[in-house]
């Protein structure tokens, strides 16, 4: 073999030579093995030496085969053992892959079932919330439509009225009912009268001046000397005029002039004059 062989090819020859030497044995192997096992710095001289050794080894193998003594390459027991272990590992990997595929399939089924259960739970929750809302509305309607009876939560007219006024800002229907309860529970007290006056104002705010008249009239029964009475009298007159009760409206303005005008403020006096003119009172 000549130096035109590449270094890579000659290294391949070296590896082949090493394998054959270890299998066949002999003097050539004893000479070549130490050189192969050591780290070798390859140059032209060493490559030529390697080429000559490979040629001698090839001739030796050819002579043995010709003499009826073929070279048998026996597998290394450690290699056989490793191959067996690799086979077992491959089988275990295959089993693991099958298990993973089965687990993935189970997970997909469980995920689907979980999604269905989540949807069912959401539907049931919505139905439950709807049922609770309907029950609450029914309970509220039953409470608000029940007959109003005299009842004092605090035992004091002033505190009952204050509690009812506070409730108006947070729960108007129950606040109205609380004012009605105060009016019934404390009918002849300033607080009972004020509750009626406030109920009349709520009717006016709801554009129901006809419904406001009886509340204002009850609040002003016997024309009480209370701070809010003068303003409520003007509201009563306005509601009467709005419901085509001119005579009663003018009469209410006359009571305002006699009873409340001396202590009324300028705005109230101006309002009385406006209503008298609009109503055509003499």
What pLDDT, in 10s, does the model give residues 89-142? 888 888 888 899 889 988 888 888 888 888 888 888 888 888 888 887 777 777
What pLDDT, in 10s, does the model give residues 44-70? 887 788 888 888 887 877 877 777 776
Q: Name the strand (E) or helix (H) holding 197.
A: helix 190-205
Beta carbons within 8 Å of 148's beta carbon, 6+ residues apart? 177, 180, 181, 184
pLDDT tier at 181, thresholds 50, 70, 90: very high
- The answer to whether the predicted template modeling score (pTM) of the entire model surpasses 0.75 is no
Q: Which fold has domain 157-279?
A: 1.25.40
Q: Which residue has the higher pLDDT, 145 or 282?
A: 145
**Measured distance CA(219)–CA(192) in Å, rounded:** 8
Instruction: Name the burial class of residue 214, with classes exposed (0-12), middle (13-18) and buried (19+) by CB atoms within 10 angstroms of its CB.
Output: middle
Calculate the average pLDDT of the chain: 83
pLDDT confidence of residue 54: 81
Task: Kindly state the DSSP code that residue 75 receives in the 8-state scheme.
Answer: P
**Measured distance CA(268)–CA(270) in Å, rounded:** 5
Q: Which residue has the higher pLDDT, 231 or 75?
A: 231
């Amino acid at each position: 073999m000549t130096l035109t062989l590449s270094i890579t090819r000659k290294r391949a020859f070296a590896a082949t030579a090493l394998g054959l030497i270890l299998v066949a044995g002999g003097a050539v192997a004893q000479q070549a093995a130490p050189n192969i096992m050591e780290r070798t710095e390859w140059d032209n001289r060493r490559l030529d030496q390697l080429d000559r050794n490979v040629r001698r080894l090839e001739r030796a193998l050819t002579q043995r085969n010709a003499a009826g003594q073929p070279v048998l390459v026996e597998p290394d027991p450690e290699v056989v053992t490793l191959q067996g272990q690799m086979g077992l590992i491959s089988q275990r990997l295959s089993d693991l892959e099958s298990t993973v595929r089965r687990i993935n399939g189970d997970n997909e089924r469980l995920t689907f079932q979980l999604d269905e259960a989540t949807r069912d739970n959401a539907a049931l929750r919505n139905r439950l919330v709807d049922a609770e809302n309907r029950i609450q509305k029914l309970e509220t309607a039953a409470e608000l439509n029940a007959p109003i009876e005299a009842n004092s939560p605090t035992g004091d007219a002033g505190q009952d009225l204050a509690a009812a006024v506070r409730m108006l800002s947070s729960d108007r229907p129950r606040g109205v009912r609380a004012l009605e309860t105060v009016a019934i529970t404390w009918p002849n007290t300033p607080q009972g009268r004020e509750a009626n006056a406030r109920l009349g104002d709520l009717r006016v705010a709801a554009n129901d001046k006809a419904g406001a008249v009886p509340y204002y009239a009850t609040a002003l029964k016997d024309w009480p000397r209370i701070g809010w009475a003068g303003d409520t009298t003007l509201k009563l007159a306005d509601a009467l005029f709005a419901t085509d009760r001119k005579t009663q409206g003018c009469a209410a303005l006359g009571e305002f002039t006699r009873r409340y005008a001396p202590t009324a403020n300028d705005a109230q006096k101006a309002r009385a004059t406006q209503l008298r003119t609009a109503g055509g009172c003499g």
